[in-house]
Amino acid sequence: MLITRYTVWDGRQRRPLDADRVFRELRRYLDHTDNLVQALDWLLHHGIDWEDVRVVGLDELLEEVRRKIQEEFERYNLDRALERLGDRLDEILELERDSLREQLSDHPSHQEKLDFLDQLPTGLSRTMRALRQYSFVDRDAAREFARALEEFEDAEELDQFIQQFGALFRGKESLDYEDAVELMHRFQRLKRLEDALAHQAFDQIDLEDLEELLGVEAVIAVEQLQSIRTMLEDAGYLVRSGERLQLSPKGVRRLGQLALQDIYQGLLRDRFGGHATDHRGHAQLRLEGSKPLRFGDPVHLDLVQTLKNALWRNTGTPIELAPEDFVVYETDHATTTSTVLLLDMSWSMSWEGRFPAAKRVALALETLIRTRFPRDYFGIVGFYTRARELRVQDLPEVTWNMGDPFTNLQEGLRLATDLLDRHPASNRHIIVITDGQPTAYFSRGRLYCEWPLSFGGISIRAAQETLREVERVTRKGIVINTFMLDDSPALRAFVEKMTRINKGRALYTDPQDLGRYLLVDYLGRKRTVRRRG
């Protein structure tokens, strides 16, 4: 027998977070940093706000804690919190002094006690500490002091609290001792909570305090935020290497899938229309097509077009198909290709979202080639003052290089050529993503760096040496296609010289459209062998 139990909603029932959706959220922050831990921090601080799920972030929780602290400051004052205890101490000390004076003739040593009482330190907490070490002569005074210690057990702590924070409490509502102690404890809990939230110290958050101070929704949010790292690890997106948290191979692949997905969605949405672009070379590309069926063709039927042809020929019913109505999709026979993506990592790539866009494209292209063209080779080379090969798994945490801000396209081309020589194919391509002309080069084994002759100008020797490298690449039959993320005249002039030498394509685009243009360009080159029957 099935028993269903209904319980009262207490705010704790919630939809569990989905690891893949959380990873997609994390990916948004990875676009803006080369540091996985920093991206996770941003995610935890900003929270999650989907149509069907909302998780309050640490920043919002912190803001609520600080708002409550400010409310306390504006509502209360502590000017009279220790007034009653001060009066009690005055009465106790007066009793003790009277007894000492009465017995002074018989006990001359009492004068030392009187001097001690006259020299008590200022400040209630310091006075209390001194009297704890004092031996009372008057029994009533001793008894009253013991009662005061018991009744005002938090007095010394409260006095120190008032010395530290009292000036901030400027509200109209004066608190007596008991209410002031309660306020102090509440304030201390809020400050501990503030510190723990600010430092993501989830293990130091008292959930009971959190619920009492901010409500059950805050507890839910903290529990969900705390689970995110473990959730992503359990799902295989993140792994630990010693103390270091890093993306797993699965996580890197997923980033590539998401980047590719975004580009495809952009293509479907925009159909590549309405963009202000400046094309050099051939850029009109067809991603799919159909043709009339001919004898011997594979029958990949385009059913919609076939039925349309029949209806155009004869509008009656039932629909009668004739041989000439049949239309089939064209079959592509892609050639094997080796491709190296040259990624500009110079300082200027940090502007206008250029470098994050370039990284997304690199991940997307790697995913496309690995999943759709597994026989093809794809490599990545980053270039700044020097050039180096980049592993796909390291790409999410690679960033532009502030310490080596020059642009050594020459060495980048040289390293890309070496990689292509090690991976022979019928078609070899280098894709360059850059936003500036060369400013570094090698000559006779020595590295040279030179600033442009003027702002927006050209580095003449660097350009000459790089064009010589373009000539060497061209003699090997390697095609260079260049995607420019800046439209400065100097860069355009330099790239035009490259294309005259190499006969590759050059395209100016902004970071937002880079992925779509590059993907279409690559797929277009893959369709160089098309069987039309």
The pLDDT tens digits of the residues spanning 148-179 come to 777 777 888 888 898 889 899 999 999 888 89
- Of 22-31, 255-264, 406-415, the least confident: 255-264
Res 272: pLDDT: 40
One-letter amino acid for residue 13 of the chain: Q
Q: Is the pLDDT of residue 190 over 90?
A: yes
Check whether residue 346 and residue 491 sit in a common domain.
yes
Same domain, 466 and 432: yes
In the chain, pLDDT over 90 holds for what percent of residues?
14
Do residues 396 and 342 share a domain?
A: yes
Q: Taking the alpha carbons of 468, 471, 476, 481 in that order, is the dihedral positive or negative?
A: positive
Distances (CA, A) of 84 to 110, 122, 152, 157, 341: 28, 17, 10, 16, 78
Alpha helices per DSSP H over 476-510: 489-502
User: How many domains does the chain contain in total?
Assistant: 4
**pLDDT over threshold 70, residue 141:** yes
Residue 488 located in a structural domain: yes
d(CA 206, CA 26): 27
Residue 498 placed within a domain = yes
Residue 12 falls within a domain, yes or no? no
pLDDT at 13: 44
Same domain? 515 vs 379: yes
Beta-strand pair 76-77/173-174: parallel
Indicate the SS3 state at residue 106. Answer: coil
The pLDDT score that the predictor gives to residue 517 is 63
Helix 58-75, helix 207-214: angle, nearest 10: 60
Q: Domain check: are 71 and 213 in the same one?
A: yes
pLDDT confidence band for 263 (50 / 70 / 90): low
Same domain, yes or no: 461 and 343? yes
pLDDT in tens, 434-487: 877 888 889 888 988 887 765 555 788 888 999 999 999 999 999 888 887 777
Let me know: does 291 contact 276? Beta carbons within 8 Å: no
355/225: higher pLDDT:
225
CA separation, residue 417 to residues 293, 393, 412, 455 (Å): 43, 22, 9, 31
The label of the residue with tokens 């996770």 reads: 40
Residues 40-68: what's their mean pLDDT? 88
What number is the average pLDDT over the span 225-250?
A: 87
Judge whether 69 lies within some domain. yes
Q: Which domain holds residue 391?
A: 337-528
Q: Are residues 104 and 211 in the same domain?
A: no
Whether residues 419 and 294 share a domain: the answer is no
Whether residue 7 is contained in a domain is answered as: no
- What stretches of 76-109 show up as alpha helix (H) in DSSP? 83-102
Mean pLDDT of all residues in 393-405: 74
Inter-helix orientation angle 83-102/139-151, to 10°: 160
For residue 286, the model assigns a pLDDT of 35
pLDDT range class, residue 36, cuts 50, 70, 90: confident
- Global confidence as pTM: 0.64
Average of per-residue pLDDT across 395-413: 80
Per the domain annotation, does 171 fall within a domain? no
312 lies in the same domain as 342: no
User: Is residue 526 within 8 Å of 335, Cβ to Cβ?
Assistant: yes
Residue 331 has pLDDT above 70, yes or no: no
- Is 380 in the same domain as 491? yes
The residue written with tokens 């050039």 in the block is 387
> What is the model's pLDDT at position 169?
92
For residues 44 and 225, the answer to whether their CB atoms sit within 8 Å is yes
317 in any annotated domain: yes
pLDDT at residue 113 tops 90: no
What are the structure tokens assigned to 47, written together?
A: 């929270």
Are 360 and 503 within one domain? yes
CA atoms of 249 and 381, how far apart (whole Å) = 19
Q: Clarify whether residues 443 and 491 are in a common domain.
A: yes
Could you read off the pLDDT of 273-314 as tens digits, one per residue?
333 334 333 333 333 467 787 766 666 677 778 888 887 777
| 23 inside domain | yes
Asked whether 413 and 473 are in contact (CB, 8 A), the reply is yes
Q: Which of 52-56, 251-255, 327-331 has the lowest mean pLDDT?
A: 327-331
